[in-house]
Amino acid sequence: MAQRRAVSKKQQFTLTWFGHSAFKLESPTGIVVLIDPWLDNPKAPPGAKELARVDIILVTHGHGDHLGNTLEIARQTNARVVAIYEIGLFLQSKGLNRVEGINKSGTVTIEGVRVTMTHAQHSSGLEPGGEILAGGDPAGYVVRFENGFTVYHAGDTGLFGDMKLIGELYRPDLVLLPIGGVFTMGPEEAAYACRLLKPKSIVGMHYGTYPVLAGTPAELRRHLPAPMRKAVRELIPGVPVKM
């Protein structure tokens, strides 16, 4: 394998939202991380599943709108999949052999990318065919790239006080937070989470997929302290942005 060039934190990182909670994160050296790849969701752009390269897939929990197309994409790209232990066992039972089953506060380093699993307040049942199977606990992830740029994807979660610890310990540059409400935090709770996390950039997720997920980035901004409002980035599904 060719040696990668050294990178600095100033070099740009690319983020693509595919709707709902699905994101592609690409580091300055080209490492591609896919999170919660439900890539045929109603907001996903055409061709979202046509990915030439994926190195790592992170699954936050077992619900179908987050586990999504993990099996298909992992088989297509030979990506390493990281999930909580029980979901890891389920994926292995479906024939995947590049699975890292970890647990909360556990860390693995893959291709120079450091992945730490965090707590989330939600549920996590697997729904492979109508029957609900135990899927361990829901989770979030802190992803630290080779140049030190750090992303916190909260997964499906309600607000919890230990987000303050995540902010203090990992100091995320970018946070990806659910804002839709009903099944997760809404904008008001997400704004409070931002005060605990103190990120440089904020992106809302898990909104607009269906009418019931009614929270919006504009509403999130209204609940934030004035100095933080400019940190909110509103993304268009399928359009990459530099962070």
The overall average pLDDT reported for the chain is 94
Q: How many CB atoms lie within 10 A of CB 131?
A: 8
CA pair distance 214, 208, nearest whole angstrom: 6
pLDDT in tens, 127-175: 777 777 888 899 999 999 999 999 999 999 999 999 999 999 999 999 9
The closest of 49, 42, 44, 58 to 91, measured between CA atoms, is 58
Radius of gyration of the CA atoms of the chain, in A: 17
The secondary structure of the chain in percent helix, strand, coil, rounded to multiples of 5, reads 20, 25, 55
Retrieve residue 53's tokens.
């390269």
**DSSP assigned state of 110:** E
pLDDT in tens, 10-69: 668 999 999 999 999 999 999 999 999 999 999 999 999 999 999 999 999 999 999 999
Whether 181 shows a pLDDT value over 50: the answer reads yes
Q: Say what the pLDDT of residue 5 is.
A: 47
Q: How many CB atoms lie within 10 A of CB 142?
A: 21
The burial class, CB within 10 Å (0-12 / 13-18 / 19+), for 51 is middle
CATH architecture of 14-233: 4-Layer Sandwich (3.60)
Mean pLDDT score, 72-99: 97
In the chain, the percentage of residues whose pLDDT exceeds 70 is: 95
Whether 207 shows a pLDDT value over 90: the answer reads yes
Question: What's the predicted TM-score (pTM) here?
Answer: 0.94
Q: In what order do the strands lie in the sheet with 241-242?
A: 99-102, 80-84, 56-58, 32-35, 23-26, 14-17, 241-242
Task: Produce one character per residue of 79-118: b if its CB has 16 or more CB atoms within 10 Å, e if not.
Answer: bbbbbbbbbbebbeeeebeebbbbeeebeeebbebbbbbb
71: left (phi over 0), alpha (psi -120 to 50) or beta: alpha
Tally helices (H) and strands (E) across the chain. Answer: 6, 14
Phi, psi dihedrals of residue 93, rounded to the nearest 5°: -65, -20
Residue 7 binned pLDDT confidence (cut-offs 50, 70, 90): low
Residue 4 binned pLDDT confidence (cut-offs 50, 70, 90): very low
Q: Say what the pLDDT of residue 228 is.
A: 97
Q: Say what the pLDDT of residue 9 is.
A: 54
